[in-house]
A and B are shown apart, each in its own frame.
Chain A
Amino acid sequence: MNCNDINLMISEYLDNELTKEKEVLLFTHLSTCHECREEFKQQNTIQQEVKLHQKEVGVSFEERIFSSIRYQKESTTRRWITKQAPAYINYVLGIVIIVITLISFFQFRSIKGDLNYLEVRYENALERILYQTHQINLMMNNMPAIQITTPPADM
């Protein structure tokens, strides 16, 4: 195991990417090699410096974010439909509409059927009345005429 390989392993170790087996190899080598130990110390120090020296986020930055969120939240509650409806509601509504349409369709057909039936009955009744009127007319026309005579004036 040469020191170049070890340097790569040090880098991987600092990245938490070294397997446990390789970690053992690394530390075994470090225990015997002064130069690599120095390398390890230096790299570790650099990493600590970078990780520790992170700036704090500004107060105004936080305020901006949370006031944007509050504004967004308020504008959504002002909307008429406030809650986001689950997707299945659309399917339920669709089915309901289809069912109502079908029911209406069948109702319409049965009403139409009833109307047709009534229409036929009406026409039949009308026909009968006409026929009867015609018969009565015939009868009246065929009856002997009744002469109305005036009684003799000598009474």
Chain B
Amino acid sequence: MQKNGIIDFTLIYNRFKKPLFNYISKVMKSDILAEDLAQNVFMKLYDNLDRIRNSATIEVWIFRTARNEIFGHFRKKKNLVEETFEIHEEKILTSNLLEDYEHKELIDFIEAELNCMDRGNSEIYYLKEYSGLSYKEIAKIMEITQDIVRSRLFNVRKKLKDAIIKSGRS
């Protein structure tokens, strides 16, 4: 790849590294896995940069590829015991944060709520909030209708708000 290819890649990488990593991390519930899968996405991006030149579609390409990586990972999941141990370890670390109820931050509470939700709902919520993709683009990636996207997001927001009200936070 020519020199300006590296520059283009670096620009795109810098733009998407945070939302991509965070999205995968929330869906996989693991930073370790998120790094692996995000790395795969960026390597594929680098290999295919010449073909994905149209910048309007890079966002869609990145998150669609991310979802493919996620599904691919679930299909390949062989050693379940090893996997769940890693994730369990991470959960212990994060739940320590929640133990100190007095200092529990709103964000921790929100994330705990989303963690409890059905993955299909939390995934679409994080995808929307992190990627900034439109209903239309999300519908295309997930192969569902825009109405479904709209209503799922609405439901997640409602559940979050109700949970927070119930816990008595301002």
The interface bits of chain B over 146-170 (1 if a CB of A lies within 8 angstroms of the residue's CB, else 0) are 0000100110011011001100000
Report chain A residues within 8 Å CB of B18. Answer: 54-57
A57 to B13, CA, bound (A): 11
A interface, size bucket: 20 to 34
Q: Judge whether A7 and B110 touch: CB under 8 Å.
A: no
- Judged by DSSP, the binding face of A is helix
Report chain A residues within 8 Å CB of B13. Answer: 65
| In the complex, B31 has a CB within 8 A of chain A | yes
Q: Judge whether B107 and A61 touch: CB under 8 Å.
A: no
The interface bits of chain B over 32-48 (1 if a CB of A lies within 8 angstroms of the residue's CB, else 0) are 00010011001100100
Give B43's nearest chain A residue, CB to CB.
Answer: A68
A56 to B150, CA, bound (A): 29
Q: Judge whether A11 and B153 touch: CB under 8 Å.
A: yes
Give A46's nearest chain B residue, CB to CB.
Answer: B160
| In the complex, B106 has a CB within 8 A of chain A | yes
The interface bits of chain A over 91-133 (1 if a CB of B lies within 8 angstroms of the residue's CB, else 0) are 0000000000000000000000000000000000000000000
| In the complex, A43 has a CB within 8 A of chain B | yes
| In the complex, B22 has a CB within 8 A of chain A | yes
Q: Judge whether B46 and A69 touch: CB under 8 Å.
A: yes
A51 to B107, CA, bound (A): 10
Q: Judge whether B19 and A49 touch: CB under 8 Å.
A: no
| In the complex, B17 has a CB within 8 A of chain A | yes
Q: Judge whether A15 and B35 touch: CB under 8 Å.
A: no
Give B150's nearest chain A residue, CB to CB.
Answer: A12
- Judged by DSSP, the binding face of B is helix
Q: Which of B9, B17, B21, B111 contacts A69 (CB 8 A)?
A: B9
Q: Judge whether B17 and A57 touch: CB under 8 Å.
A: yes
A89 to B111, CA, bound (A): 56
Give the segment of B53-61, B72-80, B95-103, B129-137 that binds chain A.
B129-137
Give B9's nearest chain A residue, CB to CB.
Answer: A69
Q: Judge whether B21 and A46 touch: CB under 8 Å.
A: no
A14 to B128, CA, bound (A): 10
Report chain A residues within 8 Å CB of B22. Answer: 54-55
A73 to B21, CA, bound (A): 24
The interface bits of chain B over 16-30 (1 if a CB of A lies within 8 angstroms of the residue's CB, else 0) are 011101100100000
A-B pairs with beta carbons under 8 Å apart, 17 shown: A7-B154, A8-B154, A11-B150, A11-B153, A12-B150, A15-B128, A39-B161, A42-B164, A50-B126, A57-B18, A61-B21, A61-B35, A65-B42, A68-B39, A68-B43, A69-B43, A72-B46
